A and B are shown apart, each in its own frame.
With several copies, the nearest count.
Chain A
Amino acid sequence: MILQQYANPARFNRLADRLMPYLAWPAGLLMAAGLYFGLFDSPPDYQQGETVRIMYIHVPSAIMAEGIFVLMAVASAVGLIWRHPLAHLSAQAAAPVGAGFTFLCLFTGSLWGKPMWGTWWVWDARLTSVLILFFLYLGYIALKDAFDDPARGEKAAAILALVGSVNVPIIKFSVDWWNTLHQPPSLGVTKVAIHSSILLPLLLMAAAFGFYFGAILLIRMKALMLARRARGMAMAQAAGRPAAGQEARG
Chain B
Amino acid sequence: MNGFARIVRRELGLALRQAGDSVVIVLFFVLAAVLFPFGIGPEPNILSRMAAGTVWVTALLAAMLSFERLFVPDYEDGSLEQLALAPIPLEFTVLAKATAHWLTTGLPLMAAAPVIAVMFGMPEHGYGALMASMALGTPVLSLIGTVGAALTLGARRGGVLLALLVLPLVIPVLIFGAASIEAAIGGLAVAPHLLLMGGMLLAALVLCPWAAAASLRQALE
Contact = CB atoms under 8 A, between A and B. Distances in A.
Is there a direct interface between A and B, measured as CB atoms under 8 Å apart in the complex? Answer: yes
A177 B172 CA distance: 11
B152 interface: yes
Contacts of B215: 155-156, 159
Contacts of A159: 147, 151, 211, 214-215, 218
Contacts of B172: 170
Nearest to B215: A159
Interface residues of B, number: 39
A203 B44 CA distance: 35
A153 B156 CA distance: 11
Interface in A107-147: 119-124, 128, 131-132, 135-136, 138-139, 141-143, 145-147
Contact of A142 (B34, B164, B167, B221): B164
The size class of the interface chain A forms with chain B is 35 or more
A120 B119 CA distance: 8
A123 B164 CA distance: 20
A167 B168 contact: yes
Contact of B169 (A123, A124, A163, A177): A163
Given A131-B34, A159-B214, A142 B118 contact: no
B47 interface: yes
A164 B168 contact: yes
Nearest to A129: B171
Interface string A95-107: 0000000000000
B123 interface: no
B121 interface: yes
A128 B42 CA distance: 10
B211 A164 contact: no
Contacts, number: 98
A132 B164 CA distance: 11
A177 B193 CA distance: 11
Interface centre among B27, B42, B214 (most CB of A within 10 A): B42
A139 B164 contact: yes
B161 interface: yes
A163 to B, nearest CB: 6
Contacts of A128: 34, 37-38
Contacts of A121: 118-119, 121
Given A124-B42, A128-B37, A163-B211, A146 B161 contact: yes
A207 interface: no
Interface string B37-62: 11001101001000000000000000
Interface centre among B30, B118, B167, B168 (most CB of A within 10 A): B168
A169 to B, nearest CB: 11
B50 to A, nearest CB: 12
B111 interface: no
A123 B47 contact: yes
B152 A143 contact: yes
A144 B156 CA distance: 11
A167 B118 CA distance: 25
A143 B42 contact: no
Contacts of A145: 20
Interface of B: 20, 23-24, 27, 30-31, 34, 37-38, 41-42, 44, 47, 118-119, 121, 147, 151-152, 154-157, 161, 164-165, 167-169, 171-172, 175, 207, 211, 214-215, 218-219, 221
Given A135-B31, A148-B156, 5 more contacts: A122-B44, A131-B34, A132-B34, A146-B161, A159-B147
Closest 7 CB pairs of A and B: A123-B42, A146-B155, A123-B37, A155-B218, A132-B168, A145-B20, A139-B165
14 contacts: A119-B121, A124-B42, A128-B37, A135-B168, A141-B20, A145-B20, A146-B24, A147-B155, A153-B155, A156-B155, A159-B214, A166-B169, A167-B169, A178-B42
Interface of A: 80, 119-124, 128, 131-132, 135-136, 138-139, 141-143, 145-148, 151-153, 155-156, 159-160, 162-164, 166-167, 170, 177-178
